[in-house]
Amino acid sequence: MHELVKKLLAGDRRSAARLISIMENNAPEKEELLAQIYPFTGRAHVVGLTGSPGAGKSSLADALTREIRAEGQKVGIIAVDPTSPFTGGALLGDRIRMQEHATDPGVFIRSMGTRGSLGGLAQATRDAIRVLDAFGCQVILVETVGVGQSELDIMYHADTTLVVLTPHAGDHVQVIKAGIMEIADIFVINKADLGGVVQMATSIESMLDLSPRLNGWRPPVLSTVAHEHRGIRELWEAIKRHRACRRDNGAAREREKAHRELLDLVRRQLEELVARHLNARCGLVEQVATRQKDPYTAAREIMAGLLAVGEKAQLAKFARGKEE
């Protein structure tokens, strides 16, 4: 076993940080390391927090961390910001809000930005979660900014997803638009001190009346005042109730997640392969552009070429296997 993984499993923070960087940067040794880490994952409860910027996700993560730490559980916090080009460092505002926990050895905080594609960010986040899972974090809070596809991809890997809203008109319209209704396990109306909670809660409840729920879980609608720690215990209790409910159909859910991730990984690898192949055969592109060949025929030729490459590789592997 790699030294870094050994240290990670022993609870070494610096190794955890380095491994997350490796996941984030897609370093060459990533896959080998992940293969060693993977058997030690699947134990943490991953809680996603999503919602508009300023809704209070970081403040809630901070308050929840206090609640969870009071129970003695180890917490990981990952803040994902696709708009930030930086990696490794904490966002300034978040760092200030998290200061209380910064020196707590039972809390690991990390923020992640995007270097390249958003798809890459979702993957890096998934793997960072795994590192913290193997590191021994029992609860991992994942905060994401924005409501794009990459965010939905990330939230798909959470066991419990909190949709954080504020009691302002217009917010709930946004929720429906972003398709976030479907991924919410718990609705949190934060900034309840500002008033307007009842109207907001009523409109969410009536939307919930219209959406059928699988597995017998109806998302509760809770209100909080994060910076005053109001409603946080109730929120944590709801998260635990949801975890218990999820556990009952955990196996099916794990299979679904594995299926989705594999499809995603293979698709991206194929895409790279096709792009390379297309570059190597740029004559084909030219032919389509100049109307010498139609795109369907060209696409078939590329597929045939790729399959031939694949077959050759298979055969070579088969031959090697025979020799051994």
Ligand X SMILES: Nc1nc2c(ncn2[C@@H]2O[C@H](COP(=O)(O)OP(=O)(O)O)[C@@H](O)[C@H]2O)c(=O)[nH]1
Q: Which two tokens stand for residue 46?
A: 């991953």
For the CB of residue 123, give the shortest distance to ligand X in the complex, in Å. 23
* Binding region for Mg ion (CB under 5 A) out of 16-24, 52-60, 162-170, 315-323: 52-60
For ligand X, the closer CB: 42 or 93: 93
For ligand X, the closer CB: 56 or 219: 56
Task: State which of residues 20, 24, 34, 57 lies at the interface with ligand X (CB under 6 A).
Answer: 57
Closest Cα partner for 300 from 291, 308, 311, 289?
308
Give me the 200-239 binding string for ligand X, x by CB under 6 A, dash otherwise: -------------------------xxx------------
Task: State which of residues 42, 93, 250, 295 lies at the interface with ligand X (CB under 6 A).
Answer: 93
For the CB of residue 283, give the shortest distance to ligand X in the complex, in Å. 50
For the CB of residue 225, give the shortest distance to ligand X in the complex, in Å. 4
DSSP letter, residue 189: E
For the CB of residue 141, give the shortest distance to Mg ion in the complex, in Å. 11
| Counts for the chain of helices (H) and strands (E), in that order | 14, 7
Number of residues located near ligand X, criterion CB under 6 A: 17
Torsion of CA 21, 24, 26, 30, to 10 degrees: 60
How many CB atoms lie under 10 A from the CB of residue 227? 15
DSSP letter, residue 215: G
Task: State which of residues 50, 52, 58, 223 lies at the interface with Mg ion (CB under 5 A).
Answer: 58
Q: Which of residues 174-203 bind ligand X (CB under 6 A)?
A: 190-191, 193-194
Residue 111 contacts residue 47 (beta carbons within 8 Å): no
Listing DSSP states for 190-216 in one string gives: --GGGS-HHHHHHHHHHHHHHS--GGG
According to DSSP, the residues that pair with 141 across neighbouring strands are 47, 77
**Binding partner at 225 among ligand X, Mg ion, none, C-beta below 5 to 8 Å by kind:** ligand X
For the CB of residue 97, give the shortest distance to Mg ion in the complex, in Å. 8
Integer angstrom CA distances of residue 263 from 180, 234, 266, 269, 270: 22, 37, 5, 10, 10
Backbone angles phi, psi at 79, to 5 degrees: -105, 120
**Binding partner at 193 among ligand X, Mg ion, none, C-beta below 5 to 8 Å by kind:** ligand X
> What is the binding site for ligand X (CB under 6 A)?
51, 53-59, 93, 97, 190-191, 193-194, 225-227
